Chains A and B, each alone.
Chain A
């Protein structure tokens, strides 16, 4: 098992490296000049040249990448062109907010998805199954920014139960575990949980329905195991697949919440990314993309390590 974890860790290194290349180069493929954001349109030539060399933009791209990577490894992602603050600090503060939001959304989505999916799988072909299927299809197909707007209208404007914007009272971006902050979390978390909920429901439903047809489940019942005991067996058999799907969904939640964070003005990575794009803030953009991609790498690594712990037939080979 230990050797397996080491091997997985080593496999993750080239993936992480290619991620840095992509997140660095991708930004250069996008149209627009970062200097437009800082230099006035009529700035003289000397000023532009001075600015270029100050930000290192006059060097060839591979050299720029090398320097950037060297600093990134040491935890320095450069300085935001727009705000002048350290990118690392900005990204980390945004990441903690996004982690909170995505964590809550994932928890809710996976939990409800598992319950709905298991119910539908067990009652395959009945009205419960059809209701769960309709809910999951709606969950997957509804545009979540639209859902966010509707929820805001209903629960923030018509019924003033939850605030519509920000992560805390008075636009504070510092998170505190109190009722006021939690109320800010409800609507965005609910909005974000709908897609993973739908996908997990469908996955669990298909897995459970398939599992119930398996000979070994019949054999478990033939041994006189109670319904609860049989369910425990089914749960352990479906867990590896659910884990893989959930891991991917949590990854999407980390970065995929640009629209929802913008709708709710939630000071997370999505919101930050949106700002960075509109301000052509290249260091900020690169730093944020890199951190988000690293989330995927780490999540997949975790799933890879957890799966064979549940299912002995996987991995280790």
Chain B
């Protein structure tokens, strides 16, 4: 792999407002151009925090960010003022989980896309409107001309999410962040949105980081999966490898807790217990309190992330040893 598009090195994020919490703990991630990475994990595992940190959306006064974060050759943590504004939406943009909450309710869809385009490119209103309309057509919104002048509340959830994608792609970003883009939608619409995202990714060749807790969705769109737990990446690798040969007990637990045809009729195997309090993480492996394999060492020392080729793993007692993928 040549220089990656995204490179996170020992990225830690602490919230120090009224409640202290270590949301990310030394995360290491790399993403190549045109690659699709799925971040998988339970609520509170740091998936969304990673995305929001990539856009520096956390309130600066109460957030402490450490480590390095490079995107497209830029040191994101050093960006300021106009450069930061151009980076947001221009280099990296985001599709939010709830399209109903992520649009300004008092401006039309068209106005908001046009405004976004004009914030990044020096073109006049008419040209920006034409581009915005083109984007709406590109995300396959029927009667795009009419929807252009619609207010967000006048569209259905699926249409809103399509419009959100149009907005996010309006400035041809190199990296698209998708924060559970299908969670708020009903099942049939979910598949349509996933297919649309995959299609647009192939057309544009952009990279995508896709946050989900739905393994099915991850398999559908991603090249690679990174499993997160309590603000750490515990395992990552190519989709096939992760799904067929999980090495971390947590990944195995997540896969076992998925409804599929092979476990029909049997009780669902949930991972026992609940994620640790991010304000008081255990000294060793964060998963140790819920892990059947946990030993004394697991409770004492944090397992380092070991990398071999495309794969990485942080576990003292992996189910399978790390091996070069066939």
What is A's interface to B at a CB cutoff of 8 Å? Answer: 214-216, 218-226, 229, 233, 236-237, 310-313
Contacts and interface: CB of A to CB of B under 8 A. Distances in A.
Interface in B143-162: 151, 153
Given A236-B104, A312-B105, 20 more contacts: A214-B101, A215-B102, A216-B103, A216-B105, A218-B52, A218-B102, A220-B104, A221-B88, A222-B57, A224-B86, A224-B90, A224-B93, A224-B120, A225-B89, A225-B115, A229-B115, A233-B107, A237-B105, A237-B106, A312-B153
Q: Which of B52, B98, B115, B153 lies at the interface centre, i.e. has the most chain A CB atoms within 10 A of its CB?
A: B115
B229 interface: no
Contacts of A222: 55, 57, 88-89, 93-94, 96
Nearest to B154: A312
B30 interface: no
A226 B98 CA distance: 23
Contacts of B52: 218
A217 to B, nearest CB: 8
B87 interface: yes
Q: Which of A215, A219, A229 lies at the interface centre, i.e. has the most chain B CB atoms within 10 A of its CB?
A: A219
Interface of chain B: mostly helix, strand, loop or mixed: helix
B167 interface: yes
A313 B107 contact: no
Q: Which of A219, A220, A221, A224 lies at the interface centre, i.e. has the most chain B CB atoms within 10 A of its CB?
A: A224
Given A222-B88, A222-B89, A226-B85, A236 B106 contact: yes
Interface of chain A: mostly helix, strand, loop or mixed: helix
Contacts of A216: 101-105
Nearest to B170: A223
B116 interface: yes
A215 B101 contact: yes
Given A229-B115, A229-B119, A224 B87 contact: yes
Contacts of A229: 115, 119
Contacts of B167: 223
Interface residues of B, number: 29
- Please give me the 3 A-B residue pairs with the lowest Cβ-Cβ distance, nearest first: A224-B89, A224-B88, A219-B102
Nearest to A224: B89
A216 B164 CA distance: 11
A1 to B, nearest CB: 14
Contact of A219 (B82, B103, B107): B103
A229 B85 CA distance: 11
A111 to B, nearest CB: 22
A246 B101 CA distance: 27
Nearest to A215: B101
Contact of B85 (A219, A224, A312): A224
A222 B86 CA distance: 10
Contacts of B85: 224-226
A221 B104 CA distance: 12
A222 B120 CA distance: 12
B106 A226 contact: no
A109 to B, nearest CB: 25
B103 A313 contact: no
Contact of B106 (A214, A223, A224, A310): A310
Contacts of A218: 52, 57, 102
A184 to B, nearest CB: 42
A222 B151 CA distance: 20
Contacts of A214: 101
B244 to A, nearest CB: 36
B158 to A, nearest CB: 18
A207 to B, nearest CB: 13
Contact of A223 (B89, B98, B151): B89
A312 B106 contact: yes
Contacts of B55: 221-222
A222 B56 CA distance: 8
Nearest to A313: B153
Contacts of A312: 105-106, 151, 153
A229 B117 CA distance: 13
Contacts of A220: 104
Nearest to B150: A312
Interface string B95-132: 01010011111110000000110011000000000000
B138 to A, nearest CB: 18
B119 A223 contact: yes
Nearest to B54: A222
Contacts of A221: 55, 57, 88
Contacts of B107: 233, 236
A146 to B, nearest CB: 39
A223 B115 CA distance: 9
A220 B153 CA distance: 17
Contacts of A215: 96, 98, 101-102
9 contacts: A215-B96, A219-B103, A222-B57, A223-B89, A224-B88, A224-B93, A224-B120, A229-B119, A233-B104
A291 to B, nearest CB: 35
B105 A313 contact: yes
A225 B103 contact: no
Interface string B47-58: 000001001010
A25 to B, nearest CB: 43
Contacts of A236: 104, 106-107
B83 to A, nearest CB: 10
Given A219-B96, A313-B153, A225 B106 contact: no
Contacts of A223: 88-89, 93, 115-116, 119, 167
A215 B99 CA distance: 10
A223 B57 CA distance: 11
B119 A225 contact: yes
Contacts of B96: 215, 219, 222
Contacts of A310: 106
A218 B103 CA distance: 10
